[in-house]
Amino acid sequence: MQIGIFTVGDVTTDPTTGRTPTENERIKATVTIAKKAEEVGLDVFATGEHHNPPFVASNPTATLAYIGAQTERIILSTATTLITTTDPVLIAEDYAKVQHLLDGRVDLMMGRGNTGPVYPWFGKDIRDGIPLAIENYALLRRLWREDVVSWKGTYRTPLQGYTSTPRPLDGIAPFVWHGSIRSPEIAEQAAYYGDGFFHNHIFWPISHTRQMVDQYRRRFEHYGHGPADTAIVGLGGQFFMRKNSQAAVKEFRPYFDNAPVYGHGPSLEDFMQQTPLTVGSPQQVLERTLGFRDHAGHYQRQLFLLDHAGLPLKTVLEQLDLLGEILPEMRKGFAQGRPPHIPDAPTHATLVAAAGGGKDATVYVAADDVTGHRAEEQLGQVQA
Amino acid sequence: MTAIVVVSAGLGVPSSTRLLADRLAATTAETIVDVDVVNVELRDVAHELTDHLLTGFPSPTLAVALDAVRRADGLIVVTPVFSASYSGLFKTFFDVLEAGTLDGTPVLVAATGGTARHSLVLEHALRPLFSYLHAVVVPTGVFAATEDFGTTGLDARIARAVGELAALLGTSVSAAVGHPGRRTVHDEFAAPTPFELLLQQVGAT
């Protein structure tokens, strides 16, 4: 079981002080938070991707590589990589590069992005969100798995004899999760490929998460990847804890009431009842989190969103310390009653092992370093 | 069993909108054989509707109301007229309905207002809204101005609208009520209305 955190990189005013961090502060804070996540023993840090204010989460690969250079063990991932508006050719290159730099300590979560105006900035249309996710990901898979790709689709320029470089580390593509809150087509996509499915599991009732996860599990089995209970499931989650629950509620309420997504809507109490948000003592957070299994089955990855709604860095780091304190109990709880046939989330090492070992996948082309011309072409020119 | 949901968006307690909704519901229960009429009062879920706009999911109480509408064979919708249209609360309910929920569903539109001068709100606001939602709108809409609650014409319009709703639903109509369609000149030649009944209808004794 992997336990970690994810960030969406929002720059939000702290409602208790009225102060808004600068982009620089927020970017540096993201790195501090990721390093702290490793320090307290977490397994995964994932960053979102946004191309509009109030977010600083553009260029996720630079962020991940920079964090990767300062950490040893933690898996770096995305939450999410925009498979709709980002050219799959660039995703293939960027994440293969990060894979090499971090010795395979990276995976990705695909998402579509829900902000209409962002799409046209990248020459796309949000109404094509699902077809874009389907076409772009199908291409991305080929770019990682086939050395030379000729391809033609609807949404980008065709490719003829194209080789994406660098080739994936050890010839093994990074593991991919597909994230979606409410689109059954994305659960279907994850199931079809036998990839992981992640439900953000923050804003909506758990009954809805269950419906999406069930669908993914059923279809995973249908497509022959194994029994439904062996499908690779990830869930989000959200908590705020203090040693006693009254203190947690008192401190978190102004952040909740003014939060960009659900602020000025339902009460904290209603939202806690209706969604997985837990504001309370470490024991309450522990129990609620372990209860997710009752709805989603035994799963592989649990990521919490901690740095949002304008919470100051100091508070976020304290939350990480508290999470670190209950982490052994949480791991023990997740292991309890877990049948031995339930797999862990794939990592680079397990994927390499499953493929019968790694191999260098470098594609060597005998061509001029400067012009890219091949020797035989030059020969042809001379003869002509 | 035919399931009819009456959605009413009155704010006062009691409200004229709810009074009209109840009369429509009662006539529906009398007219359509084997019918189950459920009322959804939007005032009771006003907070939840705003929360839904902000969070994107319904509270358990609102989910029950939305589910009732999703399962309904036909709807009766009643709104007060606010600023020359349906009320914001009324519109919000239909804004949060999942797309496609009302495809092909017969809907009887009704409204209340201070004066009959607002009655065309049924035609310029409600009918286009439900056309957009791909519902089948009953030809007769029912508008009740304040003065209509003191006259007899309203009952006839309610009966006719409910009769049309029943016809769209293809349900059996109670024999005691009969089909309350409009009588044409041909009907009068075939079977004249007895003069005693004409006298009775004008209130003469």
Specify the higher pLDDT residue, B179 or A263: A263
Burial code (b: 16+ CB inside 10 Å, e: under 16) for A70-81 equals ebeebbbbbbbb
CB contacts < 8 A, A to B, total 28
Interface of B with A in 36-95 (CB under 8 A): 50-51, 53-57, 59-60
The helix/strand/coil state of A360 is coil
Mean pLDDT across the stretch B175-204? 78
Write the pLDDT tens digit of every residue in A160-198. Answer: 999 999 999 999 999 999 999 999 999 999 999 999 999
Instruction: Please compute the mean of the pLDDT values over residues A263-289 and round it to a whole number.
Output: 95
Q: What pLDDT does B176 receive?
A: 65
Q: How confident is the model over B81-105, as a mean pLDDT?
A: 97
Whether B192 is covered by a domain: the verdict is no
Q: Which of B50, B53, B57 to mutate to test the interface with A (most CBs of A within 10 A)?
A: B57
pLDDT for A367 beyond 80: no
For B91, half-sphere exposure in the C-beta direction (CA atoms, 13 angstrom radius) is 12
- Give the pair of three-digit tokens for residue A325: 């304190």
Do the domain assignments include residue B172?
yes
Three-state SS letters, chain B: CEEEEEEECCCCCCCHHHHHHHHHHHHHHHHECCEEEEEEEHHHHHHHHHHHHHHCCCCHHHHHHHHHHHHCCEEEEEEEEECCEECHHHHHHHHHCCCCCCCCCEEEEEEEECCHHHCCHHHHHHHHHHHHCCCEECCCCEEEEHHHHHCCHHHHHHHHHHHHHHHHHCCCECCCCCCCCCCCHHHHHHCCCCHHHHHHHCCCC
CA distances from A299 to A59, A203, A295, A324, B30 (A): 29, 19, 10, 20, 54
Contact predicate B64/B107, CB 8 Å: no
Q: Residue A301 — φ and ψ, nearest 5°?
A: -140, 130
CB A73 within 8 A of CB A354: no
| A203:B57 CB<8 A | yes
Domain that holds residue B31: 2-180
Whole-complex ipTM: 0.74
Q: Cα separation of A293 and A373, whole Å?
A: 57
* Distance in angstroms (rounded) separating the CA atoms of residues B192 and B186: 10
Count Cβ atoms within 10 A of the Cβ of residue A369 and give its class: 0-12 exposed, 13-18 middle, 19 or more buried: exposed
Q: What is the mean pLDDT of residues A202-226?
A: 95
Could you report how far apart the first and last alpha carbons of chain A are, in Å? 64
| Residue B194 resides in a domain | no
Residues 6+ positions from A279 with CB-CB distance below 8 Å? A239, A240, A241, A245, A248, A249, A252, A256, A268, A272
Average pLDDT over residues A207-213: 95
3 state SS for B6-41: EEECCCCCCCHHHHHHHHHHHHHHHHECCEEEEEEE
pLDDT reported for residue B195: 86
Task: List the one residue out of A300, A292, A293, A297 whose CA is nearest residue A346.
Answer: A300
pLDDT at B112: 97
Residue B135 vs residues A116, B32, B128: alpha-carbon distances, Å: 28, 20, 10
| pLDDT for position A381 | 54
- Within 8 A of A266 by CB-CB distance, chain B residues are 51, 54-55, 59
Distance CA A108, CA A368 (A): 35
Residue B173, pLDDT score: 80
Question: What percent of chain A is predicted at pLDDT more than 70?
Answer: 95
Q: How far is A245 from chain B (nearest CA, A)?
A: 24
Residue A245 pLDDT more than 90?
yes
Domain contains B123:
yes
pTM of the model: 0.88
Q: Which residues of B touch A208 (CB under 8 A)?
A: 57
- Please say if the pLDDT value at position A384 is more than 50: no
Tell me the chain B residues in contact with residue A261 when contact means C-beta distances shorter than 8 Å.
55
For residues A59 and A44, give the distance between their C-alpha atoms in angstroms, rounded to a whole number: 19
Q: Which chain B residue's Cα is nearest to A273?
A: B59
Closest residue in A to B61 (Cα) is: A274
Q: Which residues of A touch B (CB under 8 A)?
A: 203-205, 208, 261-266, 270-271, 274
Residue-level pLDDT at A250:
98
Fold of the domain spanning A2-383: TIM Barrel (3.20.20)
Phi-psi region of A63 (alpha: psi -120 to 50; beta: other; left: phi over 0): alpha
What is the predicted pLDDT for the residue at B105?
97
**Identity of the residue in B51, B57, B59 whose CB atom sits nearest the CB atom of A208:** B57
Residue A366: which pLDDT band, with cuts at 50, 70 and 90? Answer: low
- For the segment A301-313, the average pLDDT, to the nearest whole number, is 97
Average pLDDT over residues A270-294: 96
pLDDT single digits (tens) A26-85: 999 999 999 999 999 999 999 999 999 999 999 999 999 999 999 999 999 999 999 999
Alpha helices (runs of H) in A206-306, residue ranges in sequence order: 206-222, 245-257, 268-274, 282-291, 293-296
Contacts of B13 (CB under 8 A, 6+ apart): B43
The pLDDT value given to residue A190: 98
Tens digits of residue pLDDT in B50-65: 999 999 999 999 999 9
User: Closest approach of chain B CAs to the CA of A85, in angstroms?
Assistant: 24
By the 8 A CB rule, do A107 and A97 touch? no
Reply yes or no on whether the pLDDT at B184 is more than 60.
yes
Tokens of B82: 């606010």
CATH number at residue B170: 3.40.50.360
Pair of tokens at residue A209 = 């998460």
Q: pLDDT grade, residue B17 (50/70/90)?
A: very high
Cβ of A266 within 8 Å of Cβ of B55? The answer is yes
CB–CB contact A270 B51 (8 Å): yes
Question: If you search the block for the tokens 């072409």, which residue do you land on?
Answer: A377
Question: Given a cut of 50, is residue A331 above it in pLDDT?
Answer: yes
Q: Contact, A310 vs A14, CB < 8 A?
A: yes
In chain B, residues with a C-beta closer than 8 Å to the C-beta of A264 are 54
Q: Span A222-237, mean pLDDT?
A: 98
pLDDT of B205 over the 80 cut: no
**CB contact at 8 A, B147 and B114:** no
Is B142 among the domain residues?
A: yes
DSSP-derived letter for residue A228 is G
